Structure 1
Amino acid sequence: MAKPRLEPTSEFHRLGLGFYQDLDTTGKTDDEVCDIVLDPFTGQERIRLQDFLDGITRDDASDTELLQLR
């Protein structure tokens, strides 16, 4: 049986928008930068985002699938 296509979630797209030039200078620490990027997400959105990120960082996602997450 074929593995289902890896589809980026709306939360993943929104997460990407949170990264901008000089973001690293906006926060004083890595934790502050993470807080800035994750601030727009609420409870269920954070859970869906975490589940998706867990899925793409496991070894079962191929390089080809990861490159298609644009």
Structure 2
Amino acid sequence: KSVGGASMSKLTPTEEVVKDALQALEKNQSNAVTGGFLNQVIVNASRFFPRETLVSVVEKQFRSIK
């Protein structure tokens, strides 16, 4: 499966996570969301959905990783 071009069944490569973290550090950002579009959606969804709903969605995402 993929959502917005991001695979739901694969982990983000370590190199990409480090690259994103270093870019955030250079921009003096206090936090960074890595892993592509789906992770951005999950992080920002907390503004619109109850915690129980988000936990269920994230649980399904992590259970699908093989």
Q: Judging by fraction of residues, say which structure has more helix.
A: 1
- Which structure has the highest strand share of the two? 2
Bigger relative contact order (CA 8 A; separation at least 6): 1
Q: Which has the larger radius of gyration?
A: 1
TM bucket normalised to smaller: 0.3 to 0.5
TM-score, normalised to structure 1, is 0.31
